[in-house]
Structure 1
C-alpha cells in the first residue's frame, strides 16, 4: 500500500485512535489526517460531508465512538445508540460518496449474544439476545457492520469490519465513573495504595472471564488488515486467551503494589459470564498478538503514573 496515501483516523485522541496514529507513523505512513471533536463534529452530517469533500482522504480508519463501561451504558442508553449510529453512518456514507478506497470499521466483541458458545466465532453474530447492560452500544455497532456489508454489496465499496476484544494501554480512560474494568481497577488500587486503605472493592463476583488486548497490538492488526484484507466477513481481533476478573484484579494489585485486601460486591452486575474471541480467522490471515498481559499492565501503569495530570476524572 502507498505509504503516502492520505489516511484519516477518526477519533485520533482516543485510546484506539492514538495507537493507530502511532502505528501508522512508525510504519512509515506520511500523510495521516486527524481532526479534534471541536474541529469536526462527526454527528453533524453536513460537517462530515464537507470535510471529505475538502480533504479527500483515500483511506479511513474509524476509531470514533462513544464508549464506556457497564455503569455508563446503563445511565446513558439513548446517547450510546444515537451518537454511535450518527458517527458511523456519516463516516461510511461520506467516505463512499467521496471515493475513499478503503474503509476500516472498528466494532466490539459486545456484538455477540450474551450466552453464545465460547470462544466467540464471527458466525455467532445475531444468533441470540445481547447482554442487556451494553445492548445499546452493541446494536449500533451491529448496524455499522451491516452498513459496511450493504455498501460493499450494492456499491462495491471496500469496507471491512474488525471486532476487537477488551482493550487497554497508554491513553486509556481511567475514570472511576465511566471507564472499563481494567483501567478503573488500576486507578482504584493506586488511590487505595496512596490513601493507605485496607481493602479495594471490585464490582460483581469476580467470576466472569475476560480477554484483554494491548491497544498497540490492536493498532498493528488494524494496519495489517488494512493492507491485506478485503471481504465483507467480520474479523475478530484478540489474544485468544482469557482470565477471571478476580485473576485480573490480583494481577493489577501486584502491579500497583497494593498490599490490602480484595473484596467483591455481588450486588453489582457481572455482565456477560465470559467473552473470549475465537481468533482462528485472524491467525489464518497471518497475524497474532505479541504483548503479554503482565508486560502490558506494567507499561499501562507506568503511563498512568506519568500522566496523572491528564487522567480523566
Structure 2
C-alpha cells in the first residue's frame, strides 16, 4: 500500500494513544507529519525519540484560528481529537460534547477553506448502543436510547461528527472517510481503559504479584461481550480505509474475535500468573450488552488483523508492569476538572 498519496498529513489528537501510533507509522513511511494537540489528556512523551521528525503545534481544536493555522499546507487530515474516558462521559458531558462538535466543525471548515484533499475522522463503536445483529455491519441503525443520560455525550458527539463529515461537506470535493474503531488497545494507552485498568488493579490487589489468588471486583457480572483490536492492526486498518476506501463511506476497524468481560479479566490475570475470583458489583447505567463489528467491508480492501487477543493482552500487560510508579500518569488520565 502506497502512503505517499496522502501528501502532507495533519493528525489532530496526535499525542493521544491512537494518534501517536498513527504518527509513528506515518513517519516510518517517510511522510511529512504535523501534530496538533493541547495535551490535555495526550502526552508528547508518547513520541519520544521522534520529536525532530514531525512538527508539533500545541493548540486547542476548539479555537478556529489555531485549527486553520495547523491545517494550512496539509493534503490530508486525520481528525482524532476528542475527550474519551467513561468517567468523563458521566461527569463532564459538556466538555465531551463541546470538544467533539466544535472540533469537527473547525477541522472541516479549515479543511474545506484550504482545499485539503483527504479527511478521515475516527468515530467510535459507541455509536452502536442497541445493535440488532452481531457481527454488526456499517449500515446498522444508530440511536441514542436516553437523551437524559450523560453517558451518551460521547456517542452523541461521535454521531454528530459523522453527520457533519458526510453532509456538511456536500459542496466540497474533499474525500471524506469515517473510521469506526472497536476497542483499540496496546502499550501506553493510558489507564482509564479496561485492559490497563484490570492489570493495574490486579497488580495492586496481588501486592505486585506476590499473592497468587485474589478476589477481584468487576462491574456487573462480566457477561457483557466485546471485541478488541491491537493498535498495530488498528493503524493498518485506518490507513487502508483512508487510502483505499471510497469517499463518503464508513469502515469498521476491529476484529470479529468476541469475548465476555469476565473472560477478558481472566485473560489479563493469566498473563500475570494470577488466579482471580470475580466479585460482581453494580453496573453503571447506559452500557451495551454486546458489541462486535463485521469487518467484511474493509476486509475487501485487504484489511486482516494479525495479532491474537492473547498475544496482544500479554504484551500490553507486560508493558504496564514495566512502568514502575505511574501515580502521576494515572492522575492525568483521570477525571477532567
Aligned-partner SS, 1:154: coil
Matched, 1:164 2:181: yes
Matched, 1:48 2:71: no
Gaps of 5+ in 2: 40-57, 332-337
Aligned-partner SS, 2:11: strand
Q: TM-score, normalized by length of structure 2?
A: 0.84
Aligned-partner SS, 1:202: strand
Q: Which residue of 2 aligns with 1:32?
A: 33
Aligned-partner SS, 1:272: coil
1:308 and 1:107, CA in 2 relative to 1: closer, same or farther beyond 3 A?
farther
Q: Which residue of 2 aligns with 1:11?
A: 13
Please give the per-residue CA displacement for 1:3-45, whole angstroms capped at 9, x wherever unaligned.
Answer: 782111111111100110122223x233111134162111112
Q: Which residue of 2 aligns with 1:105?
A: 121
- Paired with 2:243 and 2:197, the residues of 1 have a C-alpha distance of 34
Q: Which residue of 2 aligns with 1:23?
A: 25
- Paired with 1:120 and 1:148, the residues of 2 have a C-alpha distance of 21
- Paired with 2:246 and 2:240, the residues of 1 have a C-alpha distance of 11
Q: Following TM superposition, by how much is the alpha carbon of 1:282 offset from its aligned partner in structure 2, in angstroms?
A: 1.2
Q: TM-score, normalized by length of structure 1?
A: 0.90
- Paired with 2:119 and 2:65, the residues of 1 have a C-alpha distance of 19
Aligned-partner SS, 1:262: strand
Q: Which residue of 2 aligns with 1:59?
A: 76
1:23 and 1:255, CA in 2 relative to 1: closer, same or farther beyond 3 A?
same
Aligned-partner SS, 2:120: strand
1:309 and 1:43, CA in 2 relative to 1: closer, same or farther beyond 3 A?
farther
Gaps of 5+ in 1: none
Name whichever of 288-297 and 107-116 sits farther off. 107-116
Please give the per-residue CA displacement for 1:131-160, whole angstroms capped at 9, x wherever unaligned.
Answer: 956311111111111111114432122111
Please give the per-residue CA displacement for 1:60-99, whole angstroms capped at 9, x wherever unaligned.
Answer: 1112110012x33112222211121112221121112111
Aligned-partner SS, 1:274: coil
Please give the per-residue CA displacement for 1:101-127, whole angstroms capped at 9, x wherever unaligned.
Answer: 111100001112325322221111336
CA contact (8 A) 1:8 1:33 kept: yes
Q: Which residue of 2 aligns with 1:312?
A: 330
Count, aligned residues: 305
After TM superposition, list the pairs within 5 Å mapping 1:243-258 onto structure 2. Answer: 243-258=259-274
Matched, 1:193 2:206: yes
